[in-house]
A and B are shown apart, each in its own frame.
Chain A
């Protein structure tokens, strides 16, 4: 194996704690839109409930719908931004590091040498914002698939090619 420049020479530890690369800004918008779509049924439910008990005049008008609206707005404005900030990735010569989670943080590193296959996935929302999810599959039971959502679509494809090239170089 005389073609292994990708592997960092021993004694030069790779920095797995380095600065994370931010995801595509479109991802924050996609998250926000997704939260909004989830909130709509709850808002409708609240309005229906409001209308149903309006005759009894048990509560001042707008209490239920108002509360739900305030909670939904808080979630839509705050959470996507924090979630976006909590996520990030770091790609180096021979491994990918994915960091995610607001409350429950998880910080995963997958060496390219252990990748079985690679997926690039785009949902309808993702396509609208021009982003994609890159998923690396490994043979381990834990972290059998590590996905990295919110990459710019061209970047995701480029990363896939890069990782695939690495796999081939190592194997042939």
Chain B
């Protein structure tokens, strides 16, 4: 299996379709413009055809010139038409292997295979497209090779190289009903941005001048006079109906977006790692090794928190489509999150966890300074604006003070024998958990105010994410740093994966190679 191979031949057709798609609009533009006089339709057809032919040729050449080799210790990709480039990634460094199937490739039974190394987006290795089966085989192979190497390096012939069946224990799945509820909480007004774009388009292709203010004003005054004649009650009703409409549109958008993204969301746990599948049209399939999880983030939202819904993400060096962490349970109750957390080798904070609150001085300071801005703004308003308007910034000041007071409720931190915890947020808490051992540095940061008042922010270096505890009293911050450093300094980075404290390696076969770094 070590000879160079090509990706699936159908990729050429997909490339050609891609170039057709990008040629359609210029062709239409030519057809409707004045270029070429009577023969413009022919010209448009010609341009379209030419771009398809050129696109297909390029796509074919790229396919011919791209080969991948599955070697003993690494996977190599050679590509390039004129300037050749060869990239090799050792199996050890592969963070996770993800399969992504966009709607069109999916029709042909193809997937894009991506090897995440943690080096950052563009530097990752990607093969598009392989057939479903090939992709699956490749993933299996990468995993086996990696296990192989690990087994060799610790000279443990007893541990057989297992090719695990793909079906692992299902940890979490989103049912369609749950997905619908989730969508309702994902309120979004993005549709209006799309509408704005569409209006711009209408403006370009039709005679209606969308950005003409007079047009809208005349339309508004027409409607306005009708509205004005309706009386106060009807006006209020109309306003409420408008707001309700907005809410309905927002929720519908949320549901559609959520269903597209998270349809069939399944998280399974096999002996080696976590596997996540999701997506209605674009189907993605990501595998994350359990020991690569650096920390957890349990987020929630303003409203969903009130109903007890939370979302869980894994912090690791590999990056997810829309953020730095992999979402593993987007919408779950705490009791559903708990088994995932323990499968990843972490513990949720429980009754024995000693939470420390942020300094009350910090609370006072955030309240005072959070509202001071609005109070200051009220002064010129009171002087120059009509009487009564200054109440607006004053009201905002009261709200800001209240929000900051409430935010203090969520600002907590804790430390125990193996983990650190932090929680923060304005109206709902975002909680973070990290293993003490997998931290990289400790910083105590203080602004001028914090120095005066004796509190600090403790920043902990976490690979693939950030971890901060805010408003920690200075003495406590120092004690915290001392105890975290004691844990960190005791184990070298290269031994992180074998360290006994790391419960991520609860399985018997976790024989990882010596320099199986988290990078």
Binding site for B on A (CB under 8 A): 7-8, 10, 13-14, 16-17, 94-95, 103-116, 138-144, 146, 167, 170-171
| 9 interchain residue pairs of minimum CB distance | A140-B461, A140-B440, A170-B492, A108-B443, A138-B440, A111-B489, A113-B492, A139-B463, A107-B444
When distances are taken between beta carbons in the complex, the residues of chain A under 8 Å from B200 are: none
A95 x B485 contact (CB < 8 A): yes
Minimum CB–CB distance from B308 to chain A (whole Å) comes to 30
A139 x B451 contact (CB < 8 A): no
When distances are taken between beta carbons in the complex, the residues of chain B under 8 Å from A116 are: 493, 519
Indicate which residue in B324, B445, B465, B478 contacts A105 across the interface (CB closer than 8 Å).
Answer: B445
B441 x A108 contact (CB < 8 A): yes
When distances are taken between beta carbons in the complex, the residues of chain B under 8 Å from A14 are: 482, 485-486
Is the contact region of chain B dominated by helix, strand, or loop, or is it mixed?
Answer: mixed
Which residue in chain A gives the minimum CB-CB distance to B440? A140
A104 x B493 contact (CB < 8 A): no
A143 x B440 contact (CB < 8 A): yes
Binding site for A on B (CB under 8 A): 317, 324, 439-448, 451, 459-468, 478, 481-482, 485-486, 488-495, 515, 518-519
A95 x B489 contact (CB < 8 A): yes
A-B contacts counted at CB < 8 A amount to: 111
B447 x A114 contact (CB < 8 A): no
Could you pull out 16 A-B pairs where Cβ atoms are within 8 angstroms? A16-B485, A95-B489, A106-B444, A107-B444, A107-B445, A111-B441, A113-B492, A114-B441, A114-B461, A138-B440, A139-B440, A141-B464, A141-B466, A142-B461, A167-B492, A171-B492
A105 x B446 contact (CB < 8 A): yes
When distances are taken between beta carbons in the complex, the residues of chain A under 8 Å from B445 are: 104-107
A114 x B481 contact (CB < 8 A): no
When distances are taken between beta carbons in the complex, the residues of chain A under 8 Å from B451 are: 105
Which of A103, A114, A139 counts the most B-chain CB atoms under 10 A from its CB? A139
B519 x A139 contact (CB < 8 A): yes
Minimum CB–CB distance from B424 to chain A (whole Å) comes to 15
Indicate which residue in A108, A113, A142 contacts B488 across the interface (CB closer than 8 Å).
Answer: A113
Minimum CB–CB distance from A20 to chain B (whole Å) comes to 14
Q: How far is the CA of A9 from the CA of B300 in the complex (A)?
A: 42
When distances are taken between beta carbons in the complex, the residues of chain B under 8 Å from A139 are: 317, 440, 461, 463, 493, 518-519
When distances are taken between beta carbons in the complex, the residues of chain A under 8 Å from B443 are: 106-109, 142-143
When distances are taken between beta carbons in the complex, the residues of chain A under 8 Å from B495 are: 170
Which of A8, A113, A146 counts the most B-chain CB atoms under 10 A from its CB? A113
Indicate which residue in B447, B459, B478, B486 contacts A143 across the interface (CB closer than 8 Å).
Answer: B459
When distances are taken between beta carbons in the complex, the residues of chain A under 8 Å from B324 are: 141
Which of A7, A8, A107, A170 counts the most B-chain CB atoms under 10 A from its CB? A107
A171 and B462 contact, Cβ closer than 8 Å, known pairs A13-B486, A107-B444, A108-B442: no
Q: How far is the CA of A146 from the CA of B440 in the complex (A)?
A: 11
When distances are taken between beta carbons in the complex, the residues of chain A under 8 Å from B491 are: 113
Q: How far is the CA of A105 from the CA of B463 in the complex (A)?
A: 23
